Structure formats: C-alpha cells, structure tokens
Amino acid sequence: MSLSATITAGLTVNQTGTPILASQQTLVNNINKTLTTTFSNGNAAANLIDTVYAKSGTFTASTAITVRPVTAGALTDSFGNTVNMLHLKCLYFANLAPATTETNNSVTIGGGTNPITTILPSTSTIVVPAGGSILLTAPGAVGYLLTSGSADTLTFTPGTGTPGYEMILLGASA
C-alpha cells in the first residue's frame, strides 16, 4: 500500500502602527513563514511513515479518551489494518467546539498512565481550547519514540462540555 503525507503550516502576520514621534515614518512589520514536511513509506528512515490512525468523534463530558498507538491490536486504521507504531512522526488534534463555547469545552492532552514522555514530561499537559488545534511534527528517524508499557499513551480529557474532535497520528512501525 502506498502512503504519503505532506504537512504545510503557514503563518502570515501584518502589523502597521503609528510611531511614537510624529516625525517618524509609519512602522510596518510583515512576517511570512511556511513550514513543509513530506513523509512517505518510500522514504529513508528520516521521513518514513507506514501507519496512519485517524479518528473523529464527540467526547462524553469529563471522560478521557486514551490512545495507545504502540500496542498491536489496540487500534486499527481506516482499512482495518492493525496500528503498531514505534515512532510517532505527527500528531494533529483539533477541538471542534465553537470558540464561543470555551468555558467548558477545552481538552487537555497528556497525563494519564504511561504518557509519551518524548512529547511531554509525564506530569505535563497541553490545553487545547474550544476552536483550537495542535500540530506536532518530528520528521527525524526517531520522531517521538514510543516505548511499550512505559511511554505509549496519549490521553485526551475534555472539561465538562462535549466537544467534537479530530485526531490524526502518523508513524513508523520500525
């Protein structure tokens, strides 16, 4: 099976302001950044991926979802193949709750039992507010190393709301 992924993230910032002294010219600050990473199952180890796990759904209030991409048989891809990653190369997570419902609809990533400590230290977390998202890429040969039984879980815990979500994990089994 052929597998490839191109991840492109862009940021454009345009800032114009009036200087403090009237004799100065108008200040302009323009920033344009585009980051692109390409992965495939035909690449050498550095950008190799051979596994995709994608899921979308709706959280039950205050009920965590735990994903273990390293445990064979725990997850399957869209074609019914077993997901068994040793190297996580990309994590994308989007909180689909409208940004106007931020109070109870944030999602905390991290913590739990056996967290992937190459992403976050064991007690650290990242909060994704309503309408927010996170994209982590690790295109090197190792990526985020997963260790079965000790550093192999991603825990997603919602607040008291029931936000929708999307997640995509890209990885390599060897």
Which domains are assigned to the chain?
A: 48-172 (2.60.120.10)
Both tokens of 164, joined, read 């929708």
pLDDT at 167 over 80: yes
pLDDT at 10 over 70: yes
Q: Closest by alpha carbon to 135, among 92, 89, 88?
A: 92
CA distance 126 to 142: 22
Identify the residue with better confidence: 1 or 153: 153
Is-above-0.85 flag for pTM? yes
Question: Which are the contacts of 99, defined by CB distance < 8 A and separation ≥ 6?
Answer: 129, 130, 131, 132
pLDDT at 33 over 90: no
pLDDT digits (tens, 9 = 90+) for 115-131: 999 999 888 999 999 99
pLDDT digits (tens, 9 = 90+) for 64-118: 999 999 876 689 888 888 899 999 999 999 999 999 888 899 999 999 899 999 9
